[in-house]
């Protein structure tokens, strides 16, 4: 049985999301950021023998599923088809009749990062409160088939909302008024954080700026477990140099 989460079921949602991983972090970040009464944000809990066994969040048309060993995959598959989606993220294949792709989840083995601001010199400056319009220009310049960027309106709404509510952190490096590097948590809870892709302008890559930016962000997250989700064929060496290790795979379906 799958039930819509209201105030009478929010403890069950939190119970399923007590595990420290990327999926529980994303779901609880949405819950902490938007609550239960925000248009476009919804939550459900799946029950097995009256016990909560799965959690589902939906932000606009993007769905995240927190699975456990007792999750009923068949029921989830049918339910999500009825709800509708543009993407579904989980750690297992939920649909056996739709194409999917997989990526790698990495975790920071030991967070020893300190403020990296002292490593910035010359005309470069680092900030935790960047001009988001300039940030979006950088992200758009870095867009490719594997680095998907949301629309400008979605990015500005979600990012500014999370920064205001303390459910996201970011670090950016600017050259004068131009943003040349950026790192941000795309999800953040009291115990965990998921770092989105670290973006660097092409002409400034391989200079260590991306590493400095990522280290500075990790330095803000010392009380949390930190994860990243990457393409299988990209950036492993970069994240390993920061102290991340491969711990598993994620599964994503995109319509």
Q: pLDDT (tens digit, 9 = 90+) per residue, 174-200? A: 998 899 999 999 999 999 999 987 899
Question: What is the Cα–Cα distance from 178 to 137, expressed in whole angstroms?
Answer: 9
Q: Do both 212 and 174 map to the same domain?
A: yes
With a cut of 60, say whether residue 114 has pLDDT above it: no
Report residue 161 CA to chain centroid gap.
Answer: 15
Q: Do both 85 and 110 map to the same domain?
A: no
Q: Give the model's pLDDT for residue 246.
A: 96
Residue 121 sits in a domain whose CATH number is 3.40.630.30
For 27: left if phi > 0, alpha if psi spans -120 to 50, otherwise beta; the answer is alpha
Q: Do both 7 and 90 map to the same domain?
A: yes
In a domain, 209, yes or no: yes
Q: Do both 138 and 230 map to the same domain?
A: yes
Domain end, chosen from 64, 98, 132, is at 98
Domain end, chosen from 59, 79, 98, is at 98
In a domain, 255, yes or no: no
Q: Do both 67 and 120 map to the same domain?
A: no
Q: Do both 91 and 193 map to the same domain?
A: no
Q: Do both 71 and 155 map to the same domain?
A: no
Q: Do both 118 and 242 map to the same domain?
A: yes
| 170: confidence class by pLDDT, cuts 50, 70, 90 | very high
Q: Do both 238 and 154 map to the same domain?
A: yes
Q: Are strands 199-200 and 225-230 parallel, antiparallel or unpaired?
A: unpaired
Strand intervals (E) in 147-243: 170-175, 178-188, 192-195, 199-200, 225-230
Q: Give me the domain span that covers residue 82.
A: 2-98
Question: Which of 136, 116, 134 is CA-nearest to residue 126?
Answer: 116
Q: Do both 61 and 111 map to the same domain?
A: no
| 229: confidence class by pLDDT, cuts 50, 70, 90 | very high
Average pLDDT of every residue of the chain = 91
Q: How many structural domains compose the chain?
A: 2
Q: What is the pTM of this model?
A: 0.91
Q: Do both 162 and 246 map to the same domain?
A: yes
Domain end, chosen from 77, 98, 119, is at 98
Q: Give Cβ neighbours of residue 29 (< 8 Å, ≥ 6 apart).
A: 162, 167, 168, 187, 188, 189
Q: pLDDT (tens digit, 9 = 90+) per residue, 139-157? A: 999 888 677 888 999 999 9
Q: Do both 111 and 226 map to the same domain?
A: yes
């Amino acid at each position: 049985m799958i039930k819509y989460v209201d105030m009478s079921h929010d403890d069950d949602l939190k119970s399923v999301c007590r595990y420290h991983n990327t999926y529980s972090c994303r779901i609880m970040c949405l819950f902490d950021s938007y609550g239960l009464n925000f248009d476009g944000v919804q939550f459900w809990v799946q029950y097995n023998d009256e016990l909560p066994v799965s959690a589902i969040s939906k932000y606009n048309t993007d769905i995240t599923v927190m699975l456990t060993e007792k999750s009923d995959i068949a029921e989830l598959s049918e339910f999500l088809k009825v709800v509708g989606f543009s993407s579904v993220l989980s750690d297992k294949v939920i649909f056996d009749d739709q194409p999917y792709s997989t990526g790698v989840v990495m975790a920071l083995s030991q967070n020893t990062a300190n403020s990296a601001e002292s490593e910035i010199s010359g005309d470069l400056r680092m900030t935790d409160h960047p001009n988001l319009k300039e940030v979006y220009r950088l992200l758009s310049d870095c867009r490719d088939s594997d680095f998907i960027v949301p629309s400008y309106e979605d990015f500005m709404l979600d990012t500014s909302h999370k920064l205001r509510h303390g459910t996201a952190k970011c670090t950016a490096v600017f050259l004068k008024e131009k943003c040349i590097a950026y790192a941000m948590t795309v999800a953040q809870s009291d115990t965990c954080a998921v770092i989105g892709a670290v973006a660097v302008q092409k002409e400034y890559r391989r200079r260590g700026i991306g590493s400095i930016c990522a280290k500075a962000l990790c330095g803000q997250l010392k009380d949390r477990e930190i994860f990243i989700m990457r393409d299988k064929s990209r950036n492993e060496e970069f994240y390993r140099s920061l102290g991340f290790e491969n711990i598993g795979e994620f599964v994503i379906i995109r319509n």
